Amino acid sequence: EAGVTQFPSHSVIEKGQTVTLRCDPISGHDNLYWYRRVMGKEIKFLLHFVKESKQDESGMPNNRFLAERTGGTYSTLKVQPAELEDSGVYFCASSQAQYEQYFGPGTRLTVT
Partner 1 sequence: GQSLEQPSEVTAVEGAIVQINCTYQTSGFYGLSWYQQHDGGAPTFLSYNGLDGLEETGRFSSFLSRSDSYGYLLLQELQMKDSASYFCAVRARGGNKLTFGTGTQLKVEL
Contacts with partner 1 by CB under 8 A lie at 3-4, 31, 33, 35, 41-45, 48, 55-56, 58-59, 89, 91, 93, 95, 98-106, 108
With CA atoms as reference, report the closest residue to 44 among 29, 63, 26, 59: 59
3-state secondary structure of 34: strand
**Closer residue to partner 1 (CB): 58 or 70:** 58
Least separation in angstroms between residue 60's CB and partner 1 is 12
Least separation in angstroms between residue 109's CB and partner 1 is 13
**Closer residue to partner 1 (CB): 62 or 98:** 98
DSSP 8-state secondary structure symbol assigned to residue 81: S
**Closer residue to partner 1 (CB): 71 or 100:** 100
Least separation in angstroms between residue 8's CB and partner 1 is 15
> What distance in Å separates the CA atoms of residue 103 and residue 34, rounded to the nearest whole number?
9
Least separation in angstroms between residue 37's CB and partner 1 is 8
> What distance in Å separates the CA atoms of residue 98 and residue 56, rounded to the nearest whole number?
14
**Closer residue to partner 1 (CB): 81 or 105:** 105
Q: Tell me the pairing of strands 102-103 and 88-95.
A: antiparallel
> What distance in Å separates the CA atoms of residue 41 and residue 12, rounded to the nearest whole number?
20
